[in-house]
Amino acid sequence: MRKVALLLLAVVFVPGCASMAATGAPPPEANRVERETPAAQPSETMPAQPRHFDDSGPITEAPLEPAEMRIQRAGSVTVSCSGKEIKASREIRRAAMKFDGLVMGFKDDEVCLKLASNKLDAFIDFLDSQDNLEVKAYDFSAFDRTLEHYSLAERLERAQLVHDQLKELLRKAASLNELERIEQKLAESQKSLDALKTTKLDIDLRAGRVDLKIIIK
């Protein structure tokens, strides 16, 4: 009888211990060891590139005013060159050719040139992008000669008509006195006609262009 009781007690006690051991074991996830991840390296930044003018293509800009207007400009640009004025003067003259500029005069600390107005900003940026040049200041003014241009065109047309009529009268002159009188008027008409043509040509040549003086310090 005692053996039977001990056997029953063993049957009840052993499964309970096994169950406690199973429930007390840590979960598999707790035994995992997290793999160390390498610290993120700071991204390497590229060094700042020096600013240079891109001259790979044609140098053009948008027109500054409508084509029917006649605007002329004049001004100066002051640049510093670290005491190398003669070298800077030579480089500025060479740069002017790249922008279709016409050098009118130069010396060791100054260059005078004519330049298309729509290339002025690009030319100044080019000078400022050079390693040995730095733009310090500039000063420009504009002159609107549009009304003068169109009024001259009308005056020129009328003056040409009068001149042609005088030449016709000269061919029909009936006397020497009349011939001399018409010749005098014809000479005055020609003088007036030439003055109008010269003024109109001056406006046309200066319109859309800038008279530029570069001062080197």
Give the pLDDT confidence score for residue 113 in this predicted structure. Answer: 95
**C-alpha to C-alpha distances, 212 to 16, 89, 135, 185, 192, nearest whole angstrom:** 105, 14, 14, 42, 32
pLDDT digits (tens, 9 = 90+) for 83-123: 889 999 999 999 999 999 999 999 989 999 999 998 999 99
Looking at this protein, which amino acid is placed at residue 78? T
The secondary structure of residue 208, as a DSSP letter, is: T
* Inter-residue contact 113 to 96 (CB < 8 Å): yes
**Averaged pLDDT score across all residues of the chain:** 78
Q: What is the pTM of this model?
A: 0.57
Give the pLDDT confidence score for residue 65 in this predicted structure. Answer: 60
pLDDT digits (tens, 9 = 90+) for 16-70: 444 444 444 444 444 444 444 445 454 444 444 444 444 444 444 445 566 678 8
Number of Cβ within 10 Å of residue 132's Cβ equals: 12
Give the pLDDT confidence score for residue 64 in this predicted structure. Answer: 57
